[in-house]
Structure 1
Amino acid sequence: MTEHLTALPGDAVREQASDWFTQREAMTHNVLLRQRFEQWRNADEQHAQAYRALENLWNASAFEQALEHLALNLDLPPAQAPARRQRRPQRWLATAAVLLVMLGAGWVGDLPMRLQADHLSAVGQVERFDLADGSHVVLGSHSAISSDFSAAHRRIRLLRGELYVEAFHDPSRPLTIEAGSATVTVVGTRFSVSRHADGVTVAVREGRVRLADDQGEQSLLQAGNWQQLQDHHLRPLNPEGGERQMAWVDGRLSFQDAPLAQVLGELRRYYRAPILLFNASAAQQNVSGNYRLDDPHAIVQALSKVTNTELTRLPGGVLVLR
């Protein structure tokens, strides 16, 4: 039975295709493994298409160049001649699987997010619009929200990224923003909410905002304040520096004594290709700056000089810091 295979979402199919692709060499020696792969590929046309896309990208000249450059910068074994690609070491295949996703424009589909969201923004794009209640919203780069407005309530879900809201004043219907395990409640104010891999950041420009976690702990933020929720718990409130957290609204990235790894994590949302950091010491080094977000590559170059790291640009725009 293959019902569970055909029901898989697109991203899961792509991940499975990558897993099978890294086992290509093993399949030549393991008949049972090869049979299992063929069963998976033949179970659904999406499986076959996903695997063909990987094969096509693997054979592209740009990808071959990327592998060669990555070998030099990461001290990996040298690539063998194209005619012997099938015999590359397993370590090369693992690296290849990562780069296949990195270099394949549009490879990671956005369909699941599009099905949930009412508004989305592309990488490097900022969207400005008004909601049904009259609230004004600025949606940051690579961000998405869904909204649910009725006569009794106003709700917004921040699915990813960040948004800035000038909330319409309506005491009878407080505006609620849900972002992961964080809930932000306001009546009428100006504030931003940013969703990260490790939590949520809320900053207030005007008025007051109530921030709560899923355990019931609450905090009241006023103009200039900002606060983070990490690991489902509220961190100490920061009485100053809220404007720095909202610099992206004006097209800037501003940070003060922040670890390089954290800054690059934020910058990745504005850059269309991956930014990789292979320097554990530099990752923890604190940096400060205020940069225009319309040239992320220039920001990485500047940070590379400050942290004395070596920056390499691979085909496809992939940036590697060592």
Structure 2
Amino acid sequence: MTHPSLLDQARQWQVLLHSGRATAADRAAAQAWRQAAPEHEQALREVEGLWSLLGQIERPAEQPQVRVLRRRQWTAPLACAAMLLLALWLPRGTWIGLYADISTQPGEVREVRLADGSLLTLNGDSALDWQFVDGRREVRLYRGEADFQVAHDPARPFIVRAGEARIRVTGTRFDVRLEEGGVDLAVSEGRVLASSEGREPLPVVGGQQVQWRGGALQAPQALDGRQRLGWQRGKLVFRDRPLVQVFAELERSQSARVLFADEAARRLQVTGVFALDDPQAVLSAVETTLPVRLVRLPGLILVTSRR
């Protein structure tokens, strides 16, 4: 049997190569790792076999009409099995760890002082790179959320890239959150220029927030700092938030992955104020006030509607 540490490394290479971010150098490095020892070759073969199996589960094959009903009966269970297997098999943020200069674990809030004097505060389960490029200060947010207190320097713009979002400043304070649904920008002080790739920048000033949804920049809105920036005060503040968004924030505070078994549970609304370092209080409140069941597994929480 292949040693577990080699399997972990093989999984990281496999995720990287299928992440859409692998460069030619990454592929060459993966091939070199594979050829370094027979044990490496064996580990990658095992990982590739499981990856292929998951692909077959998600890709329905053509079958005679007489077997269509049977296939439909098994589609949902197999899809759920694939989701569970992926959630348990791949540690959250696996490939990001191969790229990010700075990252945090779930539940960890970290301050980082950059060489230019800017102060970054990363929320839990977040990751980013930063560098000086052609006279610009540039940050790439890969995952999670960060608060930026940018040192004023008109000669060197400060650029933040997060998904489709492009944010440009010379000195101010703002918060950027990158999640599955898009990007959220909240400006606490000063003025920033927000845009998407190739689009005209939109000024956003202190006390405003904007969102990118489907790659499109939305109109600025008034900032509810108490709710939007509660994590900076050690609070989780929810006001009529869909349960799926609540758990997305909760994953930054605790290590268990969350999977929803049905759409109805995702849309349920949550209102409340909780301590950032007490995610169990959120779970207890959800179970006692909403029509859902939380099935706890090692490293995983499965959310289902009560029927």
TM-score if structure 1 supplies the norm length?
Answer: 0.69
State which drifts further: 291-300 or 228-237. 291-300
* Amino acid paired to 2:44: H
Matches within 5 A, 1:208-223: 208-223=191-206
Matches within 5 A, 1:222-233: 222-233=205-216
| Runs of 4+ deviating beyond 4 Å | 12-15, 51-54, 89-97
**Distance of 1:155 and 1:254 partners within structure 2:** 30
Hey, what does 2:84 align to over in structure 1?
99
More strand by share: 2
* Cα offset, 1:299, TM superposition: 0.6
Q: Deviations over 1:30-69 (max 9, x none)?
A: xxxxxxxxxxx99932224548999xxxxxxxxxxxxxxx
Hey, what does 2:243 align to over in structure 1?
260
Where structure 1 has 5 or more consecutive residues not aligned to the other structure, the ranges are 1-5, 16-40, 55-88
Structure 1 residue 202 corresponds to structure 2 residue 209: no
Any idea what SS the aligned residue of 1:270 has? coil
- The 1:42–1:168 alpha-carbon spacing in structure 2 relative to 1, beyond 3 Å, is closer
**Distance of 1:111 and 1:278 partners within structure 2:** 24
Hey, what does 1:190 align to over in structure 2?
173
- The 1:225–1:131 alpha-carbon spacing in structure 2 relative to 1, beyond 3 Å, is same
Hey, what does 2:28 align to over in structure 1?
none
State which drifts further: 271-280 or 205-214. 271-280
**Distance of 2:293 and 2:125 partners within structure 1:** 28
TM-score if structure 2 supplies the norm length?
Answer: 0.72
Query: Which of residues 36, 41, 45 in structure 2 aligns to 1:44?
Result: 41
Hey, what does 1:34 align to over in structure 2?
none
**Distance of 2:263 and 2:180 partners within structure 1:** 19
Query: Which of residues 138, 142, 146 in structure 1 aligns to 2:121?
Result: 138
Alignment check: 8 A CA contact 2:261 2:302 kept: no
Query: Which of residues 187, 199, 223 in structure 2 aligns to 1:240?
Result: 223
* Cα offset, 1:111, TM superposition: 5.5
Query: Which of residues 117, 120, 138 in structure 1 aligns to 2:103?
Result: 120
* Amino acid paired to 2:201: Q
* Amino acid paired to 1:46: A
Query: Which of residues 140, 148, 151 in structure 2 aligns to 1:157?
Result: 140
* Cα offset, 1:280, TM superposition: 3.0
- The 1:265–1:92 alpha-carbon spacing in structure 2 relative to 1, beyond 3 Å, is same
Identical columns (%): 33
Q: Deviations over 1:136-180 (max 9, x none)?
A: 000111111111125711111111111101100111112110111
- The 1:316–1:14 alpha-carbon spacing in structure 2 relative to 1, beyond 3 Å, is farther
Query: Which of residues 10, 14, 19 in structure 2 aligns to 1:10?
Result: 14
Hey, what does 2:149 align to over in structure 1?
166
**Distance of 2:168 and 2:15 partners within structure 1:** 33
- The 1:176–1:311 alpha-carbon spacing in structure 2 relative to 1, beyond 3 Å, is same
Any idea what SS the aligned residue of 2:91 has? coil
* Cα offset, 1:216, TM superposition: 0.7
Alignment check: 8 A CA contact 1:167 1:187 kept: yes
* Cα offset, 1:100, TM superposition: 3.6
Any idea what SS the aligned residue of 2:121 has? strand
* Amino acid paired to 1:99: L
* Cα offset, 1:103, TM superposition: 4.0
Alignment check: 8 A CA contact 2:294 2:301 kept: no
* Amino acid paired to 2:119: H
Alignment check: 8 A CA contact 1:14 1:50 kept: no
- The 1:309–1:233 alpha-carbon spacing in structure 2 relative to 1, beyond 3 Å, is same
Q: Which has the larger radius of gyration?
A: 1
Query: Which of residues 265, 279, 294 in structure 2 aligns to 1:311?
Result: 294
- The 1:289–1:46 alpha-carbon spacing in structure 2 relative to 1, beyond 3 Å, is same
* Cα offset, 1:124, TM superposition: 1.6
